[in-house]
Structure 1
Amino acid sequence: MTLSLAAVLAEPAWRTPEKTAVIQGAEALSYADLWAQARTQAAALIELGVQPGDRVALMCPNVLDFPRSYFAVIAAGAVVVPIHMLLTPEEISFILRDSGAKVLIAHAIRAEDAIKAAALAEVPVRLVGPIPAEAPVPKLADVEAGVTPLPTYLTRDPEDPAVVIYTSGTTGKPKGAVLTHLNMVMNATVNGYDCLDTVRADISLGCLPLFHIFGQTVTMNTIFRVGATVVFQPRFEPGEAIELMLRHKVNTFHGVPQMFLALVHAARARKAAGEADLPKLKIAVSGGAALPASVLEAFNEAFDTEIMEGYGLSETSPTATVNQPLLGTRAGTVGHQVWGVEVQIAKAEVEGRIEFVETGELGEVIVRGHNVFAGYLNNQEATEAAMCEGWFRTGDLGTKGADGFVSIVDRKKDMVLRGGFNVYPREVEETLLRHPAIKDVAVIGLADEVHGEEICACVILEDGRELTAEELIEWSKQYLAKYKYPRRVEFVTEFPLGPSMKVLKRELRSRFQ
């Protein structure tokens, strides 16, 4: 039995060869052209010595080069290791060494750092994109010019690795989550056909970073799986995103809460400037982090579109649950488990075995099914800690009702223990976000001699608004229990964000402790 993620692109290339697959700026590629270019680059990689099973690192923004190189690696039978575009050379070199990458494909926009990182890891680098003639390392296109395209992709087994996604490293060095061809193909298929009702006529905005699993699977692979079209935005900017959606008649948007919040503010700015037209979205999906109810309500009001929140992790390919129209949707939840995947709630304090909680009770979210990863690369200890009796322990706290709706309360490690009481930052954040002067907020726990931990609200204010810490604390007392309201408020202009645009609370704790 064979299965390759490459089929996600190869199939629409022969079914609908003239259909536009990707648009970026003034350029567009049909499925037939994109697949032909990927097969040519695959032949070039083989010419460079890449063999089936080898890891090939890819550092590229949301431009046409990403899917071209991504599927070239897969077509050659190798394993893609996407790298965050903003990492330092030292961080990049760690991933190159840890993954055992055979070669680094880097976009010219990061040529200097890519070359430094490759030198540190003693890995060859090949550049793609608009490369200056005086570039100090070879271009991948030079090798492509002397090869014949592969006639088709090399066969792989379903359980063979396809992608290695490095986690954001919020607790030390990042770990490489190994995702198989079965993981990736099934997640794209279930997302497209079973959950989100995506069709060939749909057009999606690709602003989620493709090096991250959310953008890679949901925005790129799912769109290719059904033969639809994706419009790439190399760097998310909300005003430009609205213009792109209007210009290309985008009807599908996938984003993280920070993006939805930014779009709400951009929509209000357009309205104030007399530009009331906004894209008509068929579907909007949020993931990557908890979606505050206030953001959901504001987006629905501005765009007349309900956001369907989902849930997943790098280790689950990523989709585990999502609000699905066929099963009913419910704001404030992450919906139902997707087809072929089981999501349950287990006692978080029990180690070494799985013990389920009663329906509706709070516990740790656990997942099993075709989406669960094959383990952490070269890290058996971490793999064994994450897996138990066939279940992946997510480290997230949540509930599951009798009707199957799953709700995420918070990260287990982010919970604040104040004076013996559990305080869940998400609940406090949801409340504070309803203050009219607050644009965004992140709640953390800081060490305290009296209470063990104290609640601290890190706040970004709306432009032109003023608010003191004392005023916010007094306001919050009206809506939060005595042990929940923040005793400390820190005003910031921006949050440190990880690859998936999640707030890095560890960095905030380090800053204000």
Structure 2
Amino acid sequence: MNIAENLTATAAKHPDVVAVKLDDVELTYAQLAGVAAKAAGWVRELGVEPGDRVAVSLPNIPHMPIIYYGILMAGGVVVPTNPLYKSREFAHVLRDSGAKAIFAWNGVGEEASKGAAEAGATYVEVDPATFTEQLLGHEAIELVSRQPDDTAVILYTSGTTGSPKGAELTHHNMISNAEVCSRDDLIGVTVGDVVFGGLPLFHVFGQTCMMNVAVLTGATLTLLPRFDPTKALEVIARDKVTVMGGVPTMYVALAQAPNHADFDTSSLRRCVSGGAALPVEVLKAFEDVYDAPILEGYGLSETSPVASFNHGDRERKAGSIGQPISGVSMKLIDAEWNEVPEGEIGEIAISGPNVMKGYFGNPDATANSIHDGWFRTGDLAKRDDEGYYYIVDRAKDMIIRGGYNVYPREIEEVLYEHPAVASAAVVGVPHETHGEEVAAVITLKPGHEVTEDEIREYAKTKVAAYKYPRIIRFVEALPLGPTGKILKREIKIED
């Protein structure tokens, strides 16, 4: 079993169907399979053996699926990384995963190469102007067979403490989730469909639900490297997009686009939302404008990602994350893993073929998160009498800004490195466009002075652009509990 077999099988069935496109650039399935096999040969020439990790850091350009499936064809493990990372973030992921190499877009070459040097990984620059010529110079190799429980992808994620952890997703995890998601009652994709590729492919939502589902079914994936509502409307109208996946901020932007009537979006048949809670008002506003239903789902990196969904053949309940998908079970538990009484709020736990193998090289974190086959999510929810789940809060402090996860502890550690900062707490505050904004509340060391702009600029050099705190507040003291722990729930951000 190798998830790359989906590509080779589809190439055999539908060789002339366009697999992926970016504006005027198109690759058929036969072409995509052919160049992915050459990428596999390139990977092998770098000394990568089956089971070795290889990182990739690319925006949504055709090179991403080429290298992604090439690594898998060679029997390697893909470690996707965000192109917005800074060198310290690249270095952590590369060092922690033991990646032998990283293929990185030349637009982030300076940061990626620094990170690779720190971690002792081989840096391979992907320059779209020269990549094709480089690729064609390598010998194609045959697809390497893997076992269902072999790791296919390691996705880096984190809780509220410590550094990001690598969730190990197996070939079985990824294949089973893509297969279920492709069904008519979920995303509903088949050959002839055109799938909107505006979700980042380095993120599990875009990777599984858009790219892998499209490749499995023989649909066309039309890419958008950077989301912009007008450009998204152009792509939908030009390519007659039938299926769209997005995070709530995308649907907000499209619903509010003043020029939406200039584009023919009548081809849209189904939209799916994930990554953050979708406000009911946003759902209604989008559907009023585009006359295409949005089905909301739920999942995490650790669950490949989809765990529940508002199924297309059942009642859709606005504000709900739906019911568990086929083969997956969900329940609500307390801190001791006991199921809570019916009607009470509890933490969502998930079991099924979508649940990760564990956190790479971190057995303690794995044991804390998985018990008897159940994964605890950190999300608090309630369930109605028809089995629909409703998230009410997060047990974890994670901030979701524009669909991207921001982990307060990581930002706090950066702020603590500033010579003027005595203590810091990072929290999320509601934001009309992004869902949440990152805010930092800081106390200064005696005798030190620093401005909000200086803190902001400092953090910008240390973490990806979506992570740094836009809102900075200086206070005399942070609220502390009896053990000295900062009480974030008591922090109030004043305008």
Q: TM-score, with normalisation over the residues of structure 2? A: 0.80
Residue 295 (structure 2) aligns with: 308
What is residue 435 of structure 1 aligned with on the other side? none
Any conservation in 2 of the 1:126–1:140 contact (CA below 8 Å)? no
**What is the match of residue 167 of structure 2?**
177
Superposition deviation, residue 95 in structure 1: 0.6
* TM-aligned CA distance change 1:503 to 1:263, over 3 Å: farther
Q: Which whole-Å deviations, capped at 9, do the CAs of 1:145-200 have from their partners, x for residues lacking one?
A: 444211x3100000000000001565431110000000000000000025222111
- What code does the residue aligned with 1:45 have? V
Contact 2:274 2:297 in 1 (8 A): yes
Deviation of 1:275 after TM superposition, in Å, equals 2.6
Match of 2:46 in 1: 48
Residue 385 (str. 1) matches residue 368 (str. 2):
yes
Q: 1:276 to 1:57 in 2, by over 3 A?
A: closer
Q: Is the 8 A contact 1:254 1:286 kept in 2?
A: yes
The residue number in structure 1 matching 2:476 is none
In the alignment, the residues of structure 1 paired with residue 428 and residue 214 of structure 2 have an alpha-carbon distance, to the nearest angstrom, of 41
Q: Which residue of 1 aligns with 2:411?
A: none
- The equivalences for 1:15-94 within 5 A come to 15-94=13-92
Match of 1:339 in 2: 326
Does 1:165 pair with 2:169?
Answer: no
Q: What is the root-mean-square deviation of aligned Cα atoms in Å?
A: 3.0
Distance of 1:504 and 1:19 partners within structure 2: 44
Unaligned runs of 5+ in 1: 133-138, 416-424, 427-441, 445-452, 463-495
Contact 1:128–1:140 (CA<8 Å) still a contact in 2? no
Could you say if the C-alpha distance between residues 511 and 407 of structure 1 is closer, same or farther in structure 2, counting changes exceeding 3 Å?
Answer: closer
Counterpart residue identity of residue 22, structure 1: V
In the alignment, does 2:239 pair up with 1:248? yes
Runs of 4+ in 1 over 6 A off after TM superposition: 498-511
Residues 369, 456 of structure 1: alpha-carbon distance in 2 compared, 3 angstrom cutoff: closer
Contact 1:77 1:153 in 2 (8 A): yes
Structure 2 residue 181 is the aligned partner of structure 1 residue 191: yes
Contact between 1:80 and 1:163, CA under 8 Å: does it hold in 2?
yes
Q: Measure how far apart 1:379 and its partner are.
A: 0.9
CA distance 1:168–1:505, shift in 2 (3 Å): farther
1:23 and 1:59 map into 2 onto residues whose CA distance is 19
Q: 1:398 aligns with which of 368, 371, 381?
A: 381
Q: Percent identity?
A: 40
Cα shift at 1:505? 11
1:404-452 CA-to-partner distances (Å, cap 9, x unmatched) read 212111211359xxxxxxxxx99xxxxxxxxxxxxxxx9x9xxxxxxxx
Q: More displaced, 63-72 or 383-392? A: 383-392
Summarize the Cα distance change of 1:200–1:140 in structure 2 as closer, same or farther, 3 Å threshold.
closer
Tell me which amino acid in the other structure corresponds to 1:306: P
Aligned to 1:230: 221
Partner of 1:121: 119
* Distance change >3 Å, CA 220–CA 37, structure 1 → 2: same
Once residues 87 and 267 of structure 2 are traced to their aligned partners in structure 1, the CA distance between those partners, rounded to angstroms, is 41
Q: Number of matched residues?
A: 427
For residues 36 and 303 of structure 1, the distance between their equivalents in structure 2, rounded to whole angstroms, comes to: 38
The answer (yes or no) to whether the contact 1:223–1:230 under 8 Å persists in 2 is: yes
User: Normalising by the residue count of structure 1, what TM-score does the alignment of the two structures yield?
Assistant: 0.77
| Equivalence for 1:270 | 259
User: Hey, what's the Cα distance between the residues in 2 that align with 1:297 and 1:403?
Assistant: 23
For residue 340 of structure 1, give the secondary structure of its aligned residue in structure 2. coil
Structure 2 unpaired stretches of 5+: 401-405, 409-424, 435-459, 474-487
Larger mean CA deviation between 295-304 and 121-130 belongs to 121-130
Letter of the structure 1 residue corresponding to residue 36 of structure 2: A
Cα distance, 1:124 vs. partner?
1.0
Q: Secondary structure at the match of 1:325?
A: coil
Q: 1:64 to 1:396 in 2, by over 3 A?
A: same
Q: In structure 2, the residue corresponding to 1:155 is in which secondary structure? A: coil
Relative distance call for 1:255 and 1:171 in structure 2 (3 A) is: farther
2:170 and 2:342 map into 1 onto residues whose CA distance is 32
The residue type paired with residue 313 of structure 1 is L
Q: Deviations over 1:378-398 (max 9, x none)?
A: 111111110122210000011
